[in-house]
Structure 1
Amino acid sequence: MDTFVHHKFNKNLVYHIKLPRYTSILIGLSGGQDSLCMTKLFMDIKKMYYLDIGIISIDHQWRYDTVRNIQQTINIAKDLNVKTYIYESIPKYYSEEEARNIRYQILINTAKQYEYSFIAVAHSLNDQIETGLHHIFRGSYIDSLPSLTWNRAAEHMVHIVRPMLNMHRWEINWFCRYFWLPIWNDFSNLECNKERNRIRQELIPYIQYHFSYAIENNIGTLINNTYIDSEYIRQNTIKLYFQFKHPYLIAINIINFNSQHQALQKRLLYLFFLHHSNINIPYTLLDQLIYKLNKKLVFKISYNQIIIYNNNKWLYLCYKQSIHYNQPSKLKL
């Protein structure tokens, strides 16, 4: 550990990730510079933390060179002498969100099956900024800006960690060059018909040149501050939800609900529907419900497979008769 990147990485593990010793971690390795850098860093501190390390790679078979890419990943894993898990998905077109969901599900299932406590993914500060701008362009809610977090509980006692979330791409590139790491260049990252690539290749350089060279640090600070604020609101929302929910029925107390700020009201309703129906209610419908509730209007609204009923004392959620009570269907947006 003789570089500034090593020291920064170790500091992140201590203060942000809070990685315990004598634990197991599954590292996502694609062959690109970010994942190679993270793998090298974990291998360098393996003895310090007494880590049981495994490597996982997922091939979506989108590019003509993916076979050689996977072969190089296998060769790297053999040199490191660690357990390796290789997956290939059916070659078809997925949206960015669909592909991401597939990857994370494979990561989580593998970690559960082989008893890994942590999954490490190599998102950097630049990835965090690009994701934040992507959410802004989509008109997403402010809570979605800090969507990439240091440590997030997934399921079955598995945590997804991002130990390089404050590292610039130039720092990672320097590290890979310093140690002569065999980077596999993904040429699809240069295709500007993809929104994320255009943000990376065109928008951010344009802002740096014409407005602020420190735009990456500034947006990173904004996202971190937003995360602190939204996490505080999220924790208070959960506390209020358990205070306001009906002890037996699927309902929430409207008298207490109407006494809260609109920011909490919207999050309370979102959590209420997600908890009981596994449905992500659109924000337009949430705004409509909040307006009716604050005006103390009695109403009954049918939405997909649920019925929302208010009598000015309780807001009830009911399933339609064709839907089994214990098996609510997911909303298709």
Structure 2
Amino acid sequence: MQQINLEKIRTFIKYFITKNNAKNILLAISGGQDSIYLIKILETLKKQSFQKKIHISYIYIDHQWKQTSHEQVKHIINYIKLIKSNIIIYQINEITLSEDECRKLRYNIIVQHAKKYKFQVIMTGHNATDTIETFIQNIIKGSGIESLTNLAIKSKIFQEVFILRPLLKLDREIIYWICKQFYLPIWSDSTNYIYKIQRNRIRQELIPYIKKYLHKNIEKNIKSLINNYYYQNEYIKQSVIKLYLKSQHNKRTAISRQQINTQNFMLQMKIIQLFYFDNFQIHLENPKIMKIINKINNKSLKLSKIMTFNNFMFFINKNWFYLSIKR
């Protein structure tokens, strides 16, 4: 079982590297079981002939949350030295226990490092259990369907930079036993038991409680739900893009009012969002979108100025929702 999983992931990574002609790979590690397992896979691939021209480097972000942070850094450095590879370590001086803040900061550092040193692939150790925990967190936040399916095995963040999550189909428990089988040096992270961090409460208390008292197959059911939401979200996105292209003015920065107000509320919101993002690369807040939709759906409205943005004014008339330059 473990060997099959290992071989499947190796094959997938080899295929992805070959297909995208990736030469430089950056693996973001934590010292935990997921990243240590990925190191094992990549170092195995290094020995194969097709990998001779591939450069693999490692990056670790030290948030300095705990007293043992220094020892953990030493542990990681020693292991990377043992496998004769390279690692870059960033230390965060301003300590915060906010998971969202840390995640944004960590992601920004890794992406900027990848851009600066021309890495084509950023690899992370997210697993199937992470997707379940993230799903629950996003439900608590009241996120939309896009956020409920936001962890993908591969995604493109820039023209030539991909994020790859090759362990996303494996549960944390399986990865743990594979690491035990290969005697890999997993670092036991004490921050996993800090209950001020929301993810830890979900992992250590909420999911076990649901499994024991409500439904023993909760994890399997959430995986199925995430999969269904993914295809629903893809269908919505494709529908929105088709409608947006169909409703665009052939010369001006405008979209057809008649095309929009015949759609249901969800598609109306998505088309307005896409209109703003396509022209300004900004995500418009929901209250402003609601204001626009109310104007669009007001059949008695002939001409109205809706809002201003930088040097532009947004208008709606009988046929079009459009922008005009301030004069």
TM-score bin, normalised by smaller chain: 0.7 to 0.9
Aligned ranges 1:69-148 → 2 under 5 Å: 69-93=72-96, 95-148=98-151
**Hey, what does 1:20 align to over in structure 2?**
18
**Equivalent position SS for 1:230:** helix
The 1:276/1:62 distance shift into structure 2, 3 A limit, reads farther
Give the Cα separation in 1 of the matches to 2:216 and 2:12: 25
Q: Does 1:59 align with 2:62?
A: yes
Q: CA deviation at 1:123?
A: 0.7
Give the Cα separation in 1 of the matches to 2:10 and 2:232: 26
Give the Cα separation in 2 of the matches to 1:41 and 1:152: 20
Say if 1:266 and 1:290, in contact at 8 Å, map to a contact too: yes
Say if 1:29 and 1:57, in contact at 8 Å, map to a contact too: yes
The superposition leaves residues 240-268 of structure 1 with CA deviations (integer Å, 9 ceiling, x where unpaired) of 32333344543222122223333322111
Q: Does 1:316 align with 2:291?
A: no
**Hey, what does 1:236 align to over in structure 2?**
239
The 1:266/1:11 distance shift into structure 2, 3 A limit, reads farther
Say if 1:33 and 1:172, in contact at 8 Å, map to a contact too: yes
**Hey, what does 2:198 align to over in structure 1?**
195
Identity %: 36
Give the Cα separation in 2 of the matches to 1:55 and 1:235: 37
Q: Does 1:218 align with 2:218?
A: no
Give the Cα separation in 2 of the matches to 1:144 and 1:27: 24
Give the Cα separation in 2 of the matches to 1:13 and 1:47: 14
**Hey, what does 2:188 align to over in structure 1?**
185
**Hey, what does 1:329 align to over in structure 2?**
none
The superposition leaves residues 109-165 of structure 1 with CA deviations (integer Å, 9 ceiling, x where unpaired) of 222222221110111111101111111111111121011111110114100011111
- The unaligned stretches of length 5 or more in structure 1 are 322-333
Q: TM-score, normalised by structure 2?
A: 0.87
Say if 1:55 and 1:83, in contact at 8 Å, map to a contact too: yes
Give the Cα separation in 1 of the matches to 2:240 and 2:59: 36
The 1:274/1:42 distance shift into structure 2, 3 A limit, reads same
**Equivalent position SS for 2:35:** helix
The 1:320/1:4 distance shift into structure 2, 3 A limit, reads farther
Say if 1:37 and 1:176, in contact at 8 Å, map to a contact too: yes
The 1:197/1:229 distance shift into structure 2, 3 A limit, reads same
What amino acid maps onto 1:86 in structure 2?
Answer: I
RMSD: 2.6
**Equivalent position SS for 2:88:** strand
In the alignment of these two chains, the number of paired residues is 319
Give the Cα separation in 2 of the matches to 1:28 and 1:266: 36
Give the Cα separation in 1 of the matches to 2:106 and 2:326: 34
Q: CA deviation at 1:277?
A: 3.2
**Hey, what does 1:33 align to over in structure 2?**
33
- The unaligned stretches of length 5 or more in structure 2 are none
Q: CA deviation at 1:43?
A: 1.7
**Hey, what does 1:251 align to over in structure 2?**
254
What amino acid maps onto 1:175 in structure 2?
Answer: I
**Hey, what does 1:261 align to over in structure 2?**
264
**Hey, what does 1:327 align to over in structure 2?**
none
What amino acid maps onto 2:319 in structure 1?
Answer: K
Say if 1:245 and 1:252, in contact at 8 Å, map to a contact too: yes
Q: TM-score, normalised by structure 1?
A: 0.86
Say if 1:129 and 1:216, in contact at 8 Å, map to a contact too: yes
Give the Cα separation in 2 of the matches to 1:228 and 1:268: 19
The 1:317/1:201 distance shift into structure 2, 3 A limit, reads farther
The 1:259/1:276 distance shift into structure 2, 3 A limit, reads same
Say if 2:80 and 2:86, in contact at 8 Å, map to a contact too: yes
Give the Cα separation in 1 of the matches to 2:209 and 2:308: 44
